[in-house]
Homo-oligomer: A and B are copies of this chain.
């Protein structure tokens, strides 16, 4: 009599991400994930809920621990620059932009925490800090999603992103004073 499989939800996410990297997002199905685990599809539903929840969990895993918190003496615009570049780097490493969109908000709320903290540490009010963070985050997500669908060379996209960041930080800095 076989005992219940020691199938953790993290193992399901592991398998899904392995398929994502090997064969792309379209190859990730409840059936292919189950097959990679040597199991029928049914047990997956008790571990991860359903397909959409699995996609959420994958996004969360891929954005986990986005940026280290800033140093105590670091001014917020400098930290914001590091944070934004790290967010872009992580998002570009995700092999499919459909995974970073949709209603997968939770991962971003977590990711924004250290930037909001850096702003607050420098005396920016909570609402302003949240808005500044939101602007940088939305601009970065949008930039990555759009550049990934374009044929603009990487070096040019890098330069364009740097300039956009300059402009946004200049605006946010002048307003914060």
The bracket for how many chain A residues form the interface is: 35 or more
Q: A61 on the interface (CB 8 Å rule)?
A: no
Looking at chain A's contact residues, the main secondary structure is helix
Residues on the B chain within 8 Å of A45, using CB: none
**What is the copy number of this chain in the assembly?**
2
Contact status B163-A171, CB under 8 Å: yes
Q: A37 on the interface (CB 8 Å rule)?
A: no
Known A101-B97, A170-B171: A141·B135 in contact at CB below 8 Å: no
Q: How far is the CB of A18 from chain B (nearest CB, A)?
A: 24
The CA of A65 and the CA of B102, in the complex, are separated in Å by: 27
Q: How far is the CB of A3 from chain B (nearest CB, A)?
A: 39
Instruction: Name the contact of A146 in the complex, choosing from B142, B149, B152, B171 (C-beta under 8 A).
Output: B142
Contact status A138-B134, CB under 8 Å: no
Contact status A105-B149, CB under 8 Å: yes
